[in-house]
Structure 1
Amino acid sequence: MPGTAMIFAPIPVLTVTIEAHDGGDDVHLHAGGQGLWQGRVLAALDVRVVLCGVFGGEAGPALRHYIADEGVEVRAVERTGNNGVYVHDRRDGERDTLAENPGDPLTRHDLDHLYNVTLAEGLVADISLLSGPAGPGLVPSDVYRRLGHDLRANGGRVVVDLTGEPMAAALESGVDVLKVSHEELIADGRAERDEIPDLVVAMHRLRAEGADTIVVSRAANPVLVMIEKEIFTVPLPKLRTADPRGAGDSMTAGIAAGLVGGLETVDAIRLGVAAGALNVTRHGLGTLDPKAARQLAERVELHPLDAAAEPESTRSLSPSELADITRPT
């Protein structure tokens, strides 16, 4: 019996992609959004996935159909508001946005119903992933604080791939694994540059705020990982890139799949890095071959970055930043 992952995907998105094919246009319709892309990877890695979200407007019924076709179970909250939709043109090889609507914000009634559905599924799942909507202001940040608390207080494990206020809210309740990119840390003002000393300071602060394990993706540069207080660098497998979008979501899902499957944290991260690397070799977001992911994971290595945890490695930092690094948590 496969393990189960619950995904909080508040407002799934209908994606329309136009590609060139045999001198004409090839139009693809799929379900999308961060939570669905994560769910697609989890399902490929033999994890039972239950996705909780709201569905409404013209896109809602189509989204429920497309998600179910991907082997992901749907716990749907029906509403009158609209789900998100985007239209991308890839006919010239680049991804150009022709139209995009992230969907309508959740109403209080929508949120109450969705919260109860999500909590019920999360309490019986092996792990819960809290994902974000396609745009800011659609879901109150406090929902991540409450969900994280209620799930963990009842023995659940929580993985988040969030940024900004939703991430800060989730951290207040504690998270088992936090995945974030260096761009997001810089945009949030948590790091000034994509330099190891800056990112190490940010990672120590994130741990102090409530993250047990922290994974910082850095585009093509080695991933940084903090497990307890030890920091590792993880070089990415060398693969040619077809489409870089979705690598972070695939990495998060791969880590969650490993944890559901009983892997130790280090081995779950290996699987996550392999899943993220494989995603960029394909045009579909959140897609991978499970056999290739597991084989590639055997080649992923975590290298201890002992110096990064020592004050002398951060000579350019301010006294307050140094104090944050050395303060007990």
Structure 2
Amino acid sequence: MTTGRVAVFAPSPQLTVTVEVLDGEPDIHIHAGGQGVWQSQMIESLGVEVVLCAALGGETGQVLRHLIGVALKARDVSARNGAYVHDRRDGVRDPVVVMPADPLSRHELDDLYEMTLVEALGAGVAVLSGPAEDDEPVPDSVYERLATDLGANGCAVVVDLSGGRLAAALEGGPMVVKVSHEELVSDGLAKSDSLPDLAVACEKLASSGARCVVVSRAAEETLALLDGDFHLVEVPRLSTVDTRGGGDSMTAGLAAGLAQGQSIEESLKLGAAAGAVNVMRHGLGSGSGDVVRELVGRVRLKRWEDDR
């Protein structure tokens, strides 16, 4: 039973510094970042109440507390949050400095888990997001526990993970799994990025009990397995500024739709529209809810028959 609210598990948000160019001069942007932050921002843009569950520590954590910008439930920890500096003055992100997050202690982890469990059960919809690719603030087993405990108590669980974190979350039987074609190939779940090979991977993921498996394919049509049927998702073509964050916005739209009581199909359309809007903007996880809602009616689901 959803309540029109989403809880997002983001164990360790990042402090992000991006250098761009404005009128020929360096232009520095400082934001809260990381998968869960970007997802939370888009969920709120879509008019759905959201709460971000995270651990904050060190100087980076102190700054992040003031930058996150959505409702926050934070556990104060001694572990530092990670940070990065990117130079995008030539139009391409060039990592200058990357500081990984510190791992949480046992007691910090227990407190974060309990806090997330309470918030997610109260919300009715939960998004399990991962930290930065090379960060390991929490063990993979946390994702299995959360997916299991939340699902068993009536919470709709949406996971946007890869690698060991995805494998662990699948053991908990989430409702929705969102993954990119690149992640499926790199994780060894798909032999290639061809549609037939991705379809095989989708069926593997669905065997965990997921009702919906969504595979984003960069500029190509998204592949979705909905209640046993394959679909290709057509979205309006928009100019691309930055492809990073498009998949996170898709996940946010999926979760927002479920929180609003929409069907899996309608939630997928909302997610696809949100992802399409994000790539035409500089800010990750950004986009006007009005624009997203306007595009939803232009999203099409086409049945795809696998001829294996």
**TM bracket (short chain):** over 0.9
Please list every run of 5 or more consecutive structure 2 residues that lacks an aligned counterpart in the other structure. none
| Divergent runs of 4+, >3 A | none
Residue matched to 1:22: 23
Residue matched to 1:96: 94
Provide the rounded CA distance (Å) in 2 between the counterparts of 1:55 and 1:154: 27
Is structure 2 residue 126 aligned with structure 1 residue 125? no
Contact 1:7 1:128 in 2 (8 A): yes
Provide the rounded CA distance (Å) in 2 between the counterparts of 1:19 and 1:221: 28
Residue matched to 2:180: 181
Residue matched to 1:6: 7
Provide the rounded CA distance (Å) in 1 between the counterparts of 2:103 and 2:47: 33
The amino acid across from 1:107 in the alignment is S
The amino acid across from 1:9 in the alignment is A
Deviation at 1:126, TM superposition (A): 2.4
| TM-score of the aligned structures, taking structure 2 as reference length | 0.97
Provide the rounded CA distance (Å) in 1 between the counterparts of 2:239 and 2:89: 20
Contact 1:221 1:236 in 2 (8 A): no
User: Which runs of structure 2 are paired with 1:297-312 in the superposition (5 Å)?
Assistant: 297-305=296-304, 307-308=305-306
Deviation per CA, 1:265-290: give whole Å up to 9, x if none. Answer: 11111110010011010000000111
The amino acid across from 1:94 in the alignment is V
Contact 1:226 1:232 in 2 (8 A): yes
Provide the rounded CA distance (Å) in 1 between the counterparts of 2:91 and 2:188: 34
Residue matched to 2:262: 263
Contact 2:38 2:245 in 1 (8 A): yes
Percent of aligned pairs with the same amino acid: 51
Provide the rounded CA distance (Å) in 2 between the counterparts of 1:93 and 1:184: 25
The amino acid across from 2:27 in the alignment is D
The amino acid across from 1:48 in the alignment is E
The amino acid across from 2:80 in the alignment is N
Residue matched to 1:202: 201
Residue matched to 1:54: 55
The amino acid across from 1:191 in the alignment is A
Deviation at 1:24, TM superposition (A): 2.1
Contact 2:46 2:256 in 1 (8 A): yes
The amino acid across from 1:23 in the alignment is G
Provide the rounded CA distance (Å) in 1 between the counterparts of 2:44 and 2:104: 27
Helix, strand or coil: the match of 2:241?
coil
Residue matched to 2:75: 77
The amino acid across from 1:183 in the alignment is E
Higher relative contact order (CA 8 A, sep 6+): 2
Deviation at 1:110, TM superposition (A): 1.4
Please list every run of 5 or more consecutive structure 1 residues that lacks an aligned counterpart in the other structure. 315-329
User: Which runs of structure 2 are paired with 1:96-245 in the superposition (5 Å)?
Assistant: 96-134=94-132, 135-245=134-244
Helix, strand or coil: the match of 1:100?
strand
Q: What's the Cα RMSD here?
A: 1.1
Deviation per CA, 1:272-316: give whole Å up to 9, x if none. Answer: 0010011010000000111110111100000011x21xxxx11xx
The amino acid across from 1:73 in the alignment is A
Change (3 A) 1:137 1:59: closer
Residue matched to 2:284: 285
Change (3 A) 1:17 1:136: closer
Deviation at 1:27, TM superposition (A): 1.0
Deviation at 1:136, TM superposition (A): 4.4
Deviation at 1:137, TM superposition (A): 3.1
Provide the rounded CA distance (Å) in 2 between the counterparts of 1:283 and 1:215: 24
Deviation per CA, 1:22-42: give whole Å up to 9, x if none. Answer: 232211111000000000000
Helix, strand or coil: the match of 2:272?
helix
Residue matched to 2:271: 272
Provide the rounded CA distance (Å) in 2 between the counterparts of 1:209 and 1:256: 19
Helix, strand or coil: the match of 1:28?
strand
Residue matched to 1:320: none
Provide the rounded CA distance (Å) in 1 between the counterparts of 2:231 and 2:23: 47
Deviation per CA, 1:49-102: give whole Å up to 9, x if none. Answer: 1111111111111101111xx2x1111111111101000111122211110112
Deviation at 1:210, TM superposition (A): 2.9
Provide the rounded CA distance (Å) in 2 between the counterparts of 1:20 and 1:137: 33
Contact 1:174 1:212 in 2 (8 A): no
